[in-house]
């Protein structure tokens, strides 16, 4: 690629500002264009939105190595963000989430609905996410081949920040499944070693759900970022509690997430 492009959907809220601020935090590590995108429902709203978005971008402090651009599209955020990212050859979509509250508790996280419409990786940011150096990336994997699709993407981010990759899996009681999981983790570790990336592999124990164990591990190990492949088989994929819990985690960590169905031909 001749350029490094991050796409930042912005809805003129503090959450959108948080996503843009974090995008610039990442972008200063490598020469990057950050394209701030606002979606409107119809063409009559384009001119006013363009003026507002241009002013927003102008008021953001400039960062070395980062070029800020803006564009307004007519469409639907749930369908068109992924299309725009693919058309523009974006490497990453950096998006803020308002969390799961109110009606979203019933209908699922809006962020998940956008994620499942794209084959470009997302980095989901909360309003309270801090601008810290990424030193430890926590990657939960399971026995599904889809969960491995995040491995290369997380490795690319680790290479930029010289971060350590923490590959974690839930300990299996069945000996056959346990051995399969050991083989899978070893495969990932070997791949990272071939790329000269720092990594650590762990089985995590304890009570409660896998997402609870992952967050407790991230808390103890001072994780700076979570990374996962989303591969729910449910009819309404936005109801997947594991992914929702991680992207709206109470540690306020950024969450790198890849829709493995859409990306099944791009990675493993």
Dihedrals phi, psi of 22, to nearest 5 degrees: -70, -35
The whole-number pLDDT of residue 193 equals: 95
Closest Cα partner for 72 from 59, 55, 92, 89? 55
Domains of the chain: 5-97 (3.40.50.620), 136-259 (3.40.50.620)
Q: Which residues contact 247 (CB under 8 A, 6 or more apart)?
A: 97, 109, 111, 112, 115, 124, 255, 257
Q: What is the mean pLDDT of each run of 10 residues along the chain (268 residues)?
A: 81 92 89 93 94 92 86 90 91 84 47 79 92 94 88 93 94 82 88 95 87 95 95 59 88 92 47
Tell me the chain's radius of gyration from C-alpha atoms: 18
CB 258 within 8 A of CB 150: yes
Q: Which residue has the tokens 């308002």?
A: 98
* Environment class of 194 (CB within 10 Å of its CB; exposed 0-12, middle 13-18, buried 19+): exposed
Residue 248: both structure tokens together? 């709206």
The whole-number pLDDT of residue 263 equals: 52
């Amino acid at each position: 690629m001749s350029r490094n492009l991050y796409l930042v959907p912005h809805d003129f809220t503090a959450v959108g500002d948080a996503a843009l601020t974090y995008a610039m935090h990442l972008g200063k590590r490598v020469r990057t264009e950050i394209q701030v995108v606002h979606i409107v429902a119809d063409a009559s709203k384009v001119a006013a939105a363009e003026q507002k978005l241009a002013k927003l971008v102008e008021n953001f402090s400039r960062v070395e190595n980062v070029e800020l651009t803006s564009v307004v599209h007519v469409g639907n955020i749930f369908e068109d963000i992924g299309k725009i990212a693919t058309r523009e050859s974006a490497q990453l979509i950096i998006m803020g989430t308002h969390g799961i509250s109110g009606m979203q508790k019933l209908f699922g996280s809006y962020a998940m609905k956008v994620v499942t419409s794209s084959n470009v990786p997302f980095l989901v940011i909360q309003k309270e996410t801090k601008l810290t150096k990424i030193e430890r990336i926590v990657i939960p994997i399971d026995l599904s081949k889809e969960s491995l699709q995040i491995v290369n993407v997380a490795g690319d981010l680790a290479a930029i920040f010289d971060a350590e990759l923490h590959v974690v899996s839930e300990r299996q009681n069945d000996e056959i499944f346990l051995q399969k999981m050991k083989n899978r983790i070893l495969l990932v570790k070997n791949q990272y070693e071939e790329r000269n990336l720092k990594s650590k592999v762990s089985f995590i124990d304890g009570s409660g759900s896998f997402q609870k164990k992952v967050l407790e591990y991230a808390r103890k190990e001072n994780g700076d970022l979570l990374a996962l492949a989303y591969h729910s088989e449910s009819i309404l994929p936005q109801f997947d509690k594991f992914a929702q819990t991680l992207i709206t985690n109470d540690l306020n960590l950024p969450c790198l997430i890849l829709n493995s169905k859409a990306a099944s031909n791009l990675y493993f």
